[in-house]
Amino acid sequence: MAVAVLTLYYELPYFLINKGMALVPCVEDSLPVLSKLHNSSAQFRFANHDISLAQDWKKLGVAAVVWDAAVVMCMYLEMQKVELKGRRAIELGAGTGLVGIVAALLGAHVTITDRPPALDFLSANVKANVPPQYLENVVVSELTWGEGLERYPAGGFDLVFGADIVYLEDTFLPLLRTLEHLCSESTAVLLACKIRYERDVNFLNMLRQRFKTEEVYYEKQRDIHVYKAYKLPPKRDL
């Protein structure tokens, strides 16, 4: 299948990924903005650690590259705006695992999740970048939003992370169900995203119906917003 033009990298991947295929432009250099995604690795320094993450765009598409939202989320965590040490955290749609890795390095007990095709790749990145003294506090686990939620404790996490996971309308309701299951009223949800389309705003509006939501950080250079949300108490019938 040939793809002539990718106007923005989120227009095509989800049909392909949902069918178990990777997103691969027919001409790799057709869009300079995507060139870094074809690198086999990406390097960062967070939490006083050098992090080198493998990337595999051709095999796993969007699930195996580092997006700006993950970088900005890690920047936000390093600002110590949220308490991480000893907290129970879970990352949704982790991809390369950058956010979960950094959260673990900052002292959190982290469950890092994604869909089954990405787990081996995700696990390898975690093992390569989390020092032995932190590994016992990190679990890599399968989580397809809205499915098998009974495997995770209801309201059992202090923090829920999601970096660039808001883009596909078909996933909005399963994602909201997942958030509602994982969160108690004291759980802080942190979402980092770029607002590209009206559907992204629609998701935030849906979220606000169930969670008290506020923007807590904006990184202008990358045009990434970070939102914090808390689950609203159940409405009582009058």
CA distance 5 to 65: 20
Residues of the chain with pLDDT below 50 are 1-33
Contact 180, 149 (CB under 8 A): no
This prediction's pTM: 0.85
Q: Of 130, 179, 133, 141, whose CA–CA distance to 159 is shortest?
A: 179
- What pLDDT sits at residue 238? 52
Over residues 117-169, the pLDDT tens digits come to 999 999 999 999 999 999 999 999 999 999 999 999 999 999 999 999 998 89
- Going along the chain from its start, the domains and CATH numbers come out as 38-231 (3.40.50.150)
* Surface-to-core class of residue 64, CB atoms within 10 Å of its CB (0-12 exposed, 13-18 middle, 19+ buried): buried
- What pLDDT sits at residue 81? 84
Tokens of residue 178, six digits: 């997942």
Tokens of residue 38, six digits: 């074809």
SS3 177: helix
- What pLDDT sits at residue 62? 76
SS3 111: strand
The CB density around residue 140, as the number of other CB atoms within 10 Å, is 22
The residues facing 188 across adjacent strands are 159
- What pLDDT sits at residue 64? 77
